[in-house]
Chains A and B, each alone.
Chain A
Amino acid sequence: DIQMTQSPSSLSAYVGDRVTITCRASQSIRTYLNWYQQKPGKAPMLLIYAASSLQSGVPSRFTGSGSGTDFTLSINSLQPEDSAIYHCQQSYTTPRTFGQGTKVEIK
C-alpha cells in the first residue's frame, strides 16, 4: 500500500495568515492527489483534486501544488471558517490511502 504522511499534525494561526500543509507519498503518485476538509461531526468535503485543481464552489484562497511524492495545500488569508482537519488522499492506485490529517486551528 502507498503510505501518505502529512505534516504538521496540527497548527495554529491567525486570521489572515498564509498556512501550508505538506503531504508526502511513499512512492510516486504523479498528480493523483486529492485534498479534503472535514469539520467536526461532518463528512469530508473535496477541496482540491489532481494535486492542483480547485473543486467547484471552493474559495480561491485554497491552492494545491506538487507532483511525484511531495505535495502542498496552502490557505491564503486564513478565515475563521477554515478551522478544520485537512486530509490528503492518493488516487493513483487501490487501495486508496489517506494521510493521518492535519488539524488547523485559529488563534
Chain B
Amino acid sequence: QVEMVQSGAEVKKPGASVKVSCKASGYTFSTYGISWVRQAPGQGLEWMGWMNAYRGDTNYSPKLQGRVTMTTDTSTSTVYMELRSLTSDDTAVYYCARDAANRGLLDYWGQGTLVTVSS
C-alpha cells in the first residue's frame, strides 16, 4: 500500500532553516511527483510547491520562491523540503502528498510534520 512517512517535529529559532523529509513506499517512486502543503494553526491549506521525484524539476509557489528548496533522493525514495529564514508565520504543520505529473491531484498524504518557530 502507498505510504508517505515524514520526519518528526522541529522547533527552530527565527532566522534558522528547517529541512523536512518525506519517504515514499508502495508505488514506483519515479512515476509520481510530490507536492508540499502547509497548514498554520487553525488556518486553511497553503500549497508550497511541487517537484518531479525522478528528474528533480520544481514548481514553487511565488510566495515562497527564494526561501524554499525541494530535493529528491531516488536511492531512498525520499523527498526533502527546506525552508530558510524562518519567522513565526512559518509555524505550521507541513505535509507532503503524492501528485502525479504536477496535476495538483493529491491522492496520498504524509502524516504531517509540525514546525514551530519561536525565540
| A contact residues vs B (CB 8 Å cutoff) | 32, 34, 36, 43-46, 49, 55, 87, 89-91, 94-101
| B contact residues vs A (CB 8 Å cutoff) | 35, 37, 44-47, 50, 59, 61-63, 95, 97, 102-107, 109-112
- Chain B residues whose C-beta falls within 8 Å of the C-beta of A36 in the assembled complex: 45, 106
CB distance from A5 to the nearest CB of B (A): 11
Which of A34, A36, A89, A94 has the largest count of B CB atoms less than 10 A from its CB?
A94
Given contacts A43-B95, A43-B112, A94-B59, contact A55 B44 (CB under 8 A): no
Given contacts A89-B104, A91-B104, A96-B35, contact A43 B44 (CB under 8 A): no
The docked-state distance in angstroms from the alpha carbon of A72 to that of B102 is 24
A91 touches B103 (CB 8 A): yes
The docked-state distance in angstroms from the alpha carbon of A49 to that of B73 is 29
B105 touches A91 (CB 8 A): yes
B47 touches A97 (CB 8 A): yes
The docked-state distance in angstroms from the alpha carbon of A44 to that of B4 is 13
A95 touches B111 (CB 8 A): no
A49 touches B46 (CB 8 A): no
Q: Chain A: which residue is nearest B98 at the CB level?
A: A46
CB-contact partner of A98 in B45, B103, B111, B112, under 8 A: B45
